[in-house]
Amino acid sequence: MAATSATTFSIGSTASTRPSITRLTQSKALGFKVDVKNNLKSFSGLKAFCESESTFLSSESCAALKRTYRRRAQNQSNRAPSCVQPQASYKVTILGAGGGIGQPLSLLVKMSPLVSALNLYDVANVKGVATDLSHCNTPSRVSDFTGESELANSLKGADVVVIPAGVPRKPGMTRDDLFNINANIVKTLVAAVADNCPDALIHIISNPVNSTVPIAAEVLKQKGVYDPKKLFGVTTLDVVRANTFIAERKNLRLVDVDVPVVGGHAGITILPLLSKAKPPVTLTDEEVQELTVRIQNAGTEVVEAKAGAGSATLSMAYAAARFVESSLRALDGDGDVYECAFVESNVTELPFFASRIKLGRKGVEAVISSELDGLTDYEQKALEALKPELKSSIEKGISFVKKQLVAA
């Protein structure tokens, strides 16, 4: 591939201040050289690249991002070498790449310079998606895999596996209505992950996440390869929505807003901690309740707006790509990567819980429990109210796998 333009795109979290890349040049099939402006040591793929006007962000947001990392650039310039050559060296497999979430997610992951190989799997219609994406002049090599007979090969050597496979919600359908179909899909796919890339980070998107993550955990346990640090329910969309709605309500720059969202990934189990928002915001009791309910029901808002034509596919793909990028940065050695995710946890009495985590080379490096301290009365009551429903969903997933094991 010839040298690309100076443009690099960004859609990731802006919580961490990362320097920019001014030019990407492929050096070999599975790697590329990076010339780093101001002699910086690190880089990121979908995150905070604003060296040109051709980005997903507005010119105002780009200017704000540049200001946030300029100070770090100045601090590092005196001690960094004149040039570094990080290699795109991570393989990502997307299971369900031909679907409504899978296709835009595949495009966004294809844009990450940390990805050397992008494997796309689905039961049908994935070859065209892979061919289309392969024409994009980004470093990763795209391969397609169709049907059960090719599932194993799609997973071999994967560092990150993302599972958006399953049926979407339709009007009048709750996440729980999806259970019987998607539970079997997740069980089958995770079993294949266990057999072919047991050390990979597993990102579960398939709903209902409150149940499918426990299903995945039970399957991995049966296979003897369960590592709780490497299994994630992707709840990033709840954070993305909370950030967006707060910024709109208070006329804040999106780049500045960060709202932790805890609990689960359905209805009242989604609890945005508006009192912990950064920057701090002043909200009336009515605003808190209104915003909380909107964040909890945002998926239904999309389903109803599409009037039977689909669910939240684009925003989910965006959020999932952000979480993939965060995982890859952590694998690549970035020591300042934080996201909210639904993981095995002891921050409450529940075995799984969504909260902010620190990501590292081995997956979950730390679960941040401090954000559950000092909650408002409203948040504390909401936290206690969500626990029975979340507990029931977790148990439903665990019971599903155990019943199938007994039947077998």
Residues serving a catalytic function are 265
Beta-carbon contacts of residue 290 (< 8 Å; ≥ 6 apart):
none
CB 50 within 8 A of CB 62: yes
CB 262 within 8 A of CB 271: yes
Distance, in Å, from the CA atom of 187 to the CA atom of 204, rounded to the nearest integer, reads 11
Contacts of 382-386 spanning 24+ positions with Cβ under 8 A: 382/268, 382/271, 382/292, 383/262, 383/263, 383/271, 385/268, 386/263, 386/264, 386/268, 386/269, 386/270, 386/271
CB 282 within 8 A of CB 394: no
CA-CA-CA-CA torsion sign (105, 110, 111, 113)? positive
CA angle, 37 as apex, 133 and 106 as ends, to 5°?
15
Other CB atoms within 10 Å distance of the CB of residue 76: 16
